[in-house]
Amino acid sequence: MIQFEPSTGILASLLCINAGVFLLFGYDKHQARRDGWRVPERTLLLSSLAGPFGAFSGMNVFHHKTRKPAFFILVPAFIVLQVVCAVIISGGI
8 Å CB contact between 29 and 62: yes
Looking at residue 86, its pLDDT comes to 81
Q: Please list the pLDDT of the chain residue by residue as tens digits (93 residues).
A: 667 676 778 888 999 999 999 999 999 999 999 999 999 999 999 999 999 999 999 999 999 999 999 999 999 999 999 999 888 877 776
Full-model pTM: 0.88
Amino acid at 68: K
